[in-house]
Amino acid sequence: MPDTASSDRIADLLAGLNPPQREAVTHGEGPLLILAGAGTGKTRVLTHRIAYLEGTGMARANEILAITFTNKAAQEMRERVELLLGRRTRAMWVMTFHAACARMLRADAHRLGYTRQFTIYDQADARRLVKRCLDELGVDTKRFTPGAVHHQISDAKNKLRDAEAYRRMTGDSTAFVTHVADAFGLYERELLRMNAMDFDDLLVNAVNVLQLFQDVRDRYSSAFRHVLVDEYQDTNAVQYRWLQLLAEEHRNLAVVGDDAQSIYGFRGADIRNLLDFEDSFPDSHVVKLEQNYRSTQTILSAANAVIAHNRDQKRKSLWTNHGDGEPIRIRELDDEHAEARYVVGEIERLVDEGASRAEIAVFYRTNAQSRVIEDTLVRRDISYQVIGGTKFYERAEIKDAIAYLAVLGNPQDVVSFQRIVNSPRRGIGQTSLARVSAFADTMGISVWDAAADPASVPGLGTAAVRSLGRFMDMMHALRERVQQRVPIGDLLESLLHETGYIEALKAERTIEAQGREENLAELVEVAREFDATAEEDEDTLDVFLQQIALVADADTRSDDEGLVTLMTIHNAKGLEYPIVFIAGMEEGVFPHSRALDEGGLEEERRLAYVAITRAMRALYMTSARRRAVFGATQYGMRSRFLDEVPHDLTDCADEAGRGRGLAASAAQRAGAWASSSTSTARSDEPAPSFRLGDDVAHAAFGAGVVVGVEAGGIVVVRFAGDGSERKLMAEYAPITRL
Ligand code: ATP
Ligand code: MG
């Protein structure tokens, strides 16, 4: 029975909601769908519902599973819930799909042949392993790159297909498909042998374990009596299946989403998961929210007008009582440098007038666009952060240190072992390592065990035997410390010294090496912070490694006051900023040239909707008449999305450039398309068909192989000459099949 203090809290909590929001928050048992536009309080409803369930005793903290899109969002959600409840709620699972699956697998992976200590391979590790598999199969990795092959594997896994299903479903027997399927099979066997999972495996294996073992499924579905999911429009097949397995028994699944914000189709997200929710759960209670609390009416009207151009859209009418606010500023600049100068100049002006830098965000469609804006910000001495571009955990020294920890936690992890065995250099070269691996394979033992007795490895020189012996002695000693459960911070610090890593950096005497040392010090700090909050009875090292493996790029955003924020629109999902700039509003940039066919274009338009609806008070959209793209100058038409914003919502600054109005510029664009080499206007003509793996010749680039076929008649060709990969319009590019 809630006491008076908590009943007061619950009354307060409900007071901060409008009637439909309150209806969703207080909904009892059974499926719940909240389908609503941007900024209507969907995330707020989820947060309040969690606090409500717990605060009223409808669910205990450990009976709640809340899924968010990023670690950052999870952290924010937990903090908000704690604020609403007035106390900590440690036991609650608020996390991303990947983190929740990883945590489940720590307990149950043994049923699939893994141990608790399995390693999580990030994209780069996975790619390296794919390369090794391709090498082993004798496949030419210049023609069939590990990146392209891994992409196919990942895509298949997210559709819950294994190597054989991939081979069957693709229906093609080109060299590419065959190589992918072979590599896929070998890759899976290797992962299992090394007791490792890639990111996709976390989801796939979590589904497998629930699907195969009734008792596991029963345990989780009775443990998590309430499952809540934010950004549901971006779930893919494997995520959908996982939720279904968890919730089919009690059906307490609450999802929130906005079909207009589905922007991960290219990664296999399936908007039907949202649109067909009522079919999957016929008894679901549906709540629609229409009042937007984020933006001015001008910004909302612009967003509504743009999204109305999509055919497949559930109609939603958003309104706000924030008033009209300022008109949207649209500027057409000469080139990307002028664009950056304009954006940065405006930022300076706004800051002079009292805005905080932290209130300002600059969005762009592709990562590469950030550089010029960054340069300009640096020159004007404005501090900023780039979300999603940060590389702390990708730096070589950080990855080395983590690889050491990974081997100490899981000695079967060959990839990490290979990474560190000669880093810093200790005279154990590629050849020696190859001999050890070969010996391990022959004897059917692990590389770790083979290395532990170097004298018995045939063909290993005395120097190598000695170095390897010393290395293994040290590793065994460190492993003992792991078993004694010394804090990770201490373990890391001593391993960095005992392995000679720090000494080697010091010996370099370069600024760069100094920076690396500082980065490692920062990592020790990360470990100490972790130690301070780690729970007693956990496998701390594994949990620590898992946490690090899951820190996605987009999550490195820090909350420092006074930083202008730069990011791609994809990373901006769910966030809000008082002042927003959207740069690069040009055809070919945004909408992206890769996405100019129908389905692709609608996803680009949803991305425009996401971008616009992040803005609270002020919105700028800029374009450049010419722009350097990969060293060549491109002359882009202004983006169609600019013309879809009603004229009267804008400030009409550059009259000469924009006076032509909607109809004129549409006609002009049609004309431009007809003569342009990237036309989509004639997409009903049959395009010459290419298949994965086709050998082709290009008039300028020479011989190549088709490594991708995309919607809209686009083929991706990898050229043998310079190893470059280019996207070409099959219909227009001077390529022929050989
Ligand atoms: P998105 O679609 O972008 O994810 P959302 O629907 O999740 O948006 P929220 O982020 O939850 O929307 O809310 C948008 C803003 O409106 C937030 O600042 C939130 O605090 C505020 N807000 C939502 N509902 C209310 C309300 N009833 N009263 C006051 N503020 C509210
Ligand atoms: Mg939200």
Task: Answer for the pair 561, 30: CB distance below 8 angstroms, yes or no.
Answer: no
Note the ligand closest to the C-alpha atom of 578: 1
Confidence check: pLDDT of 1 > 90: no
CATH code at position 525 = 1.10.486.10
* 335 burial level (CB within 10 Å; 0-12, 13-18, 19+): middle
Give me the percent of the chain exceeding a pLDDT of 90: 56
CA neighbor of 156 nearest in space, from 236, 215, 248, 66: 236
CA gap 384, 521 in Å, rounded? 23
* 293 burial level (CB within 10 Å; 0-12, 13-18, 19+): middle
Q: How far is the CA of 68 from the centre of ligand 2 (A)?
A: 9
**pLDDT on residue 537:** 63
Phi-psi domain of 231 (left: phi exceeds 0; alpha: psi -120 through 50; beta: other)? left
Note the ligand closest to the C-alpha atom of 289: 1
Structure token pair of residue 25 = 């928050």
Whether residue 521 lies inside any domain: the answer is yes
Ligand 1 contact, 18 CB (< 6 A): yes
In 388-462, which ranges are E strands?
none
**pLDDT on residue 557:** 42
Q: What number is the average pLDDT over the span 669-696?
A: 47
**pLDDT on residue 659:** 38
Phi and psi at 185, nearest 5°, equal -60, -50
> Is residue 230 annotated as part of the catalytic site, yes or no?
yes
The answer to whether residues 541 and 428 belong to one domain is yes
Specify which of 81-95, 269-283, 286-300, 415-429 reaches the highest per-range mean pLDDT.
286-300
What integer best gives the mean pLDDT of the chain? 85
Whether residue 303 lies inside any domain: the answer is no
The answer to whether residues 532 and 480 belong to one domain is yes
Whether residue 678 lies inside any domain: the answer is no
CA neighbor of 97 nearest in space, from 249, 272, 264, 279: 264
688 confidence band (pLDDT: 50, 70, 90): low
CA gap 289, 270 in Å, rounded? 22
Task: Answer for the pair 268, 155: CB distance below 8 angstroms, yes or no.
Answer: yes
Phi and psi at 699, nearest 5°, equal -55, -40
Of 551, 568, 599, which residue sits at a domain end?
Answer: 551
Q: How far is the CA of 153 from the centre of ligand 2 (A)?
A: 31
The single residue of 261, 298, 412, 613 carrying the catalytic annotation is: 261
Query: Given the structure tokens 């374009």, which residue do they identify?
Result: 623
Q: How far is the CA of 164 from the centre of ligand 2 (A)?
A: 38
User: Which atom of ligand 1 lies closest to the CA of 610?
Assistant: 3
Mutate to test the pocket of ligand 1, among 43, 72, 259 (most ligand atoms within 8 A of CB): 43
Q: Which residues is 706 bridged to in the sheet?
A: 717
Sequence-distant (≥ 6) Cβ neighbours of residue 425 within 8 angstroms: 504
Structural domains of the chain, count: 5
Condensed to tens digits (0 to 9), the pLDDT of residues 493-551 reads 999 999 999 998 887 776 567 767 877 887 887 788 788 877 766 688 998 888 787 65
678 confidence band (pLDDT: 50, 70, 90): very low
Greater confidence (668 vs 180) lies with 180
The single residue of 106, 127, 143, 614 carrying the catalytic annotation is: 614
Sequence-distant (≥ 6) Cβ neighbours of residue 537 within 8 angstroms: none
CA gap 418, 433 in Å, rounded? 8
Least confident of 267-281, 421-435, 713-727: 713-727
Confidence check: pLDDT of 409 > 90: yes
**pLDDT on residue 696:** 85
> Is residue 586 annotated as part of the catalytic site, yes or no?
no
Whether residue 136 lies inside any domain: the answer is yes
The answer to whether residues 272 and 187 belong to one domain is no
Condensed to tens digits (0 to 9), the pLDDT of residues 620-637 reads 999 999 887 654 677 878
Confidence check: pLDDT of 113 > 50: yes
Confidence check: pLDDT of 322 > 70: yes
The answer to whether residues 465 and 613 belong to one domain is no
What is the CB-side half-sphere exposure of residue 146 using CA atoms within 13 A? Answer: 17
Helix (H, G, I), strand (E, B) or coil at 38: coil
Confidence check: pLDDT of 559 > 50: no
In 69-206, which ranges are E strands?
93-96, 119-121, 196-198
Ligand 1 contact, 265 CB (< 6 A): no
Mutate to test the pocket of ligand 1, among 263, 293, 609, 612 (most ligand atoms within 8 A of CB): 293
Ligand 1 contact, 43 CB (< 6 A): yes
Confidence check: pLDDT of 654 > 90: no
* 604 burial level (CB within 10 Å; 0-12, 13-18, 19+): buried
Task: Answer for the pair 475, 408: CB distance below 8 angstroms, yes or no.
Answer: yes
Q: How far is the CA of 299 from the centre of ligand 1 (A)?
A: 15
Condensed to tens digits (0 to 9), the pLDDT of residues 135-190 reads 999 998 878 888 889 989 999 999 999 999 999 887 777 888 999 999 999 999 99
Over 265-311, what HEC string results?
HHHCECCHHHHCHHHHCCCCEEEEECECCCCCHHHHHHHHHHHCCCC
What is the CB-side half-sphere exposure of residue 601 using CA atoms within 13 A? Answer: 16
> Is residue 79 annotated as part of the catalytic site, yes or no?
no
Whether residue 498 lies inside any domain: the answer is yes
Of 551, 577, 597, which residue sits at a domain end?
Answer: 551
CA gap 385, 364 in Å, rounded? 14
Ligand 1 contact, 213 CB (< 6 A): no
Sequence-distant (≥ 6) Cβ neighbours of residue 415 within 8 angstroms: 119, 121, 125, 128, 129, 194, 196
| Atom 8 of ligand 1: nearest residue by CA position | 39
CA angle 575/157/571 to nearest 5° reads: 15
Of 260, 291, 322, which residue sits at a domain end?
Answer: 291
CA neighbor of 157 nearest in space, from 206, 119, 194: 206
The single residue of 21, 40, 43, 680 carrying the catalytic annotation is: 43
Ligand 1 contact, 77 CB (< 6 A): no
CATH code at position 151 = 1.10.10
Whether residue 22 lies inside any domain: the answer is yes
Whether residue 430 lies inside any domain: the answer is yes
CA gap 78, 93 in Å, rounded? 9
CA neighbor of 656 nearest in space, from 665, 669, 667, 648: 665
In 86-126, which ranges are E strands?
93-96, 119-121
Least confident of 18-32, 501-515, 544-558, 719-733: 544-558
What's the predicted TM-score (pTM) here?
A: 0.74
Q: How far is the CA of 209 from the centre of ligand 1 (A)?
A: 36
The answer to whether residues 318 and 285 belong to one domain is no
Whether residue 660 lies inside any domain: the answer is no
CA gap 435, 35 in Å, rounded? 59
Q: Domain of 231? A: 4-106+204-291
CA gap 422, 477 in Å, rounded? 18
Specify which of 115-119, 254-258, 698-702 reaches the highest per-range mean pLDDT.
254-258
The answer to whether residues 526 and 464 belong to one domain is yes
Greater confidence (331 vs 378) lies with 331
Task: Answer for the pair 311, 602: CB distance below 8 angstroms, yes or no.
Answer: yes
User: Which atom of ligand 1 lies closest to the CA of 47?
Assistant: 11
Ligand 1 contact, 44 CB (< 6 A): yes
Structure token pair of residue 241 = 């299946």
The answer to whether residues 456 and 563 belong to one domain is no
The answer to whether residues 537 and 445 belong to one domain is yes
**pLDDT on residue 347:** 97
Query: Given the structure tokens 């050491």, which residue do they identify?
Result: 404
CA gap 539, 118 in Å, rounded? 12
The answer to whether residues 10 and 88 belong to one domain is yes
Q: What number is the average pLDDT over the span 260-268?
A: 86
The answer to whether residues 532 and 577 belong to one domain is no
User: Which atom of ligand 1 lies closest to the CA of 46?
Assistant: 11
**pLDDT on residue 554:** 38
- As a 3-state breakdown, the chain gives helix, strand, coil percent values, each rounded to 5, of 55, 15, 30
In 365-407, which ranges are E strands?
384-386
CA gap 317, 650 in Å, rounded? 20
Task: Answer for the pair 411, 195: CB distance below 8 angstroms, yes or no.
Answer: no
The answer to whether residues 224 and 264 belong to one domain is yes
> Residue 17: what residue type?
L
The answer to whether residues 421 and 547 belong to one domain is yes
Ligand 1 contact, 39 CB (< 6 A): yes
645 confidence band (pLDDT: 50, 70, 90): very high
CATH code at position 733 = 2.30.30.140
Least confident of 62-71, 367-376, 413-422, 504-513: 504-513
Taking residue 87's Cβ as centre, other Cβ atoms within 10 Å add up to 14
What is the CB-side half-sphere exposure of residue 407 using CA atoms within 13 A? Answer: 27
For the CA atoms of 270, 275, 280, 281, what is the dihedral angle to 10 degrees? 140
Least confident of 171-185, 276-290, 369-383: 369-383
| Atom 23 of ligand 1: nearest residue by CA position | 41
Structure token pair of residue 103 = 């945590």
CATH code at position 316 = 3.40.50.300
Give me the percent of the chain exceeding a pLDDT of 70: 89
